[in-house]
Amino acid sequence: MKPIEDIKLCSVNNSLEAERIMMILKDNEIASFSKSGIMKVYGGNSAENDIYISSDDYQKALDVMREYNLEEKKVYDCSSKKAARSMLPRAFGIILLIVIVAVILVPIIFLFLPR
């Protein structure tokens, strides 16, 4: 018998939204819990809250999300390895690209401004 593992169902923007989704899951007999960033400890609310469920309940939870029109949330396809990766490296890459473009374009713009 394989052990039951917890998998990330989705990420939401604040703890109130996470609580709402977890209540909907509970009403549909799906156990869930959330993990949030460090800001919850200091500020009482976190910018991103991840909702986890049992891997056995994954398909049922997806059906509930669709039924309540919650599929626009960041729902993770846990059948692939890609879902296990954090979004942090992607965000870091985008920010780095913006900084590099700004560092290159700003001097060029000031070079061609009339004096």
Residues in the chain where the model's pLDDT stays below 70? 1-3, 37-47, 71-89
Does residue 55 contact residue 6 with C-beta atoms inside 8 Å? yes
**pLDDT tens for residues 56-81?**
999 999 898 888 877 655 565 554 44
Cα distance between residue 56 and residue 3, in whole Å? 10
DSSP assignment letter at 79: T
Instruction: Count CB neighbours of 70 within 10 A.
Output: 20
- Domain boundaries in the chain? 6-84, 86-115
Q: Which CATH number describes the domain made up of 6-84?
A: 3.30.70.1530
pLDDT of the residue at 47: 65
pLDDT of the residue at 37: 66
